[in-house]
Structure 1
């Protein structure tokens, strides 16, 4: 798959009028775009750092995300929410933006796994990491464009990639345009206004799942979606349980 070099002017051209809302900087290599933006918390809303290669990208629960040049699209966006706005459900809102943009670019089989995984045909295509920096949210997104050779079997079994020729400038522009629309809606209305769109993308709607949290007993039930704050709703044998986002892992339950 030939690589399309990331070029700010090409990204701006693909964004059209929306380019005025973003300041995109392309880095040949960095440790973590999220860490770099957190250190620049006074930057303007709409500042974007995108790395050709990331050596110490961060994921949830202390996981790392290392990306080789051209094999993935990894970037972070600094966005300021209105004063008093709650960030509850922000990672889910971002998931909606990413999934809808990918579908719009012709990537099939895209769905969302609570709270912040992007799936394609049931395997992990990418992930989202939200970190707060003062009054701003730093939104980190990583997507596999292709899987590198030599991945350990335990990793490759659960991972996937876009695996087709795609102009990364056009893809990033589509993602930023979708994020702009979703975040503009999220700011004044919170996640409630986006809940139905997330539900339509829920990979495990109506499916039996197991929720595993650190220092807690695993909980099994039927995934019935999320509430207006973005909490997972799990129908167990005794009640509908509300699971808050945090260091938890959602896994499908295989039939006995």
Structure 2
């Protein structure tokens, strides 16, 4: 990450109405002109478009398109989610980083920490499946120490799913819907997925890691040809690249507000909102679990996040985990 002094140079350039000389910046910060030049180059390497001329000096022409904590924090309006962040240009997996941090540090102090990667080289989805995570997406893991009974911990995923769908709807006016158990769809194409990993023993939750992956500014041409009719991205839906930092700030605010509802015991509020933006309920589905496969109509979701299926023989089946295919 960039040193704090580099961001102080950036703040000065952001406030300026025109170009500033290196001498002006060095005098304001009490550093040498060569240090200013060094920081300008560091900012350029992080994606900031800064022009320079001997006559006028430095001018910030374009902010960075990278998902930098500095850019997110300018727009973030949360109490604790995202106040602390860890940023990586690339990493095998943000959830792997989260596991490492939780094993080495005080999880109580990490509650709400958001781990961000521009690119994951070994992203993991449900059932250990590979999750393709190219640059341009949002690939994050949130470290949580929630005050939620262990039998309601699935609601963390519900809160995350609602937050992603609501943020997409509010930010881009796209009709995002939740597909049980943890995917977000626009139309009949997947745009995002979530994964919750839990560390607990008996009835005590030590911590959990909520990973969220969203195809934001990822061109559809980056997807494998056989996946292009199944996956979409936000930029493909709106027709242009979008501000990822502003979108993530909104998403984290949405997630925090729904998480606080769960922690205050407002379970029914969360369940009803999830139902209102579900594309699974009232549809005929095929369920595949580790033990069996069956079909029926998805009629409800219970307070523990289980999907209720009315099978063709009229019997109700409660599905806690499995793959759900719309028919």
Which structure has more helix as a fraction of its residues? 2
2:223 aligned residue: 151
CA contact (8 A) 1:85 1:190 kept: no
From 217, 220, 234, the counterpart of 1:162: 234
1:124 matched residue in structure 2: 190
What residue is the counterpart of 2:250 in the other structure? 174
Alignment gaps of 5+ in structure 1:
none
1:26 and 1:50 in contact (8 A); partners too: yes
Contact 2:72 2:248 in 1 (8 A): yes
Select the residue among 192, 196, 202 that pairs with 2:278: 202
Distance (whole Å) between structure 1 residues aligned to residue 87 and residue 131 of structure 2? 18
Distance 1:251 1:48 in 2: 31
| Alpha-carbon distance in 2 for matches of 1:109, 1:83 | 30
The answer on 1:220 being equivalent to 2:298 is no
Give 5+ residue unaligned stretches, structure 2.
Answer: 1-62, 201-205
The 1:208/1:30 distance shift into structure 2, 3 A limit, reads same
Structure with the larger strand share: 1
The partner residue of 1:6 within 67, 82, 88 is: 67
Whole-Å separation in 1 of the counterparts to 2:175 and 2:245: 22
Per the alignment, in what secondary structure is the counterpart of residue 305 of structure 2? coil
Pair member with larger Rg: 2
> C-alpha distance in 1, partners of 2:191/2:148?
33
Question: 1:3, CA displacement in angstroms?
Answer: 7.4
Aligned residues: 248
Query: Where does residue 139 of structure 1 map in the other structure?
Result: 210
The residue that corresponds to 1:114 in the other structure is: 180
Structure 1 SS opposite 2:157: helix
Q: Take 2:319 and 2:255, find their aligned partners in 1: how far apart are those partners?
A: 25
Q: Distance in 1 between matches of 2:161 and 2:148?
A: 23
- Checking the alignment, whether the CA contact within 8 Å between 1:209 and 1:222 is kept in structure 2 is yes
- By relative contact order (CA 8 Å, sep 6+), the higher-ranking structure is 1
Give the 3 Å change call, closer, same or farther, for CA 219–22 of structure 1 in structure 2. Answer: same
Q: Does 1:79 align with 2:144?
A: yes
Q: TM-score, normalised by structure 1?
A: 0.89
CA distance in 1, matches of 2:211, 2:144: 11
Aligned to 2:320: 244
2:40 — aligned with what?
A: none
Match of 2:287 in 1: 211
- The corresponding residue for 1:25 is 86
Q: 1:151 to 1:83 in 2, by over 3 A?
A: closer
How much is the aligned-residue C-alpha RMSD, in angstroms? 2.1
Task: Pick which of 43-52 and 3-12 moved more.
Answer: 3-12
Tell me the alpha carbon deviations over residues 169-194 of structure 1, each in whole angstroms, 9 at most, x when there is no partner. Answer: 11111111011111111224274330
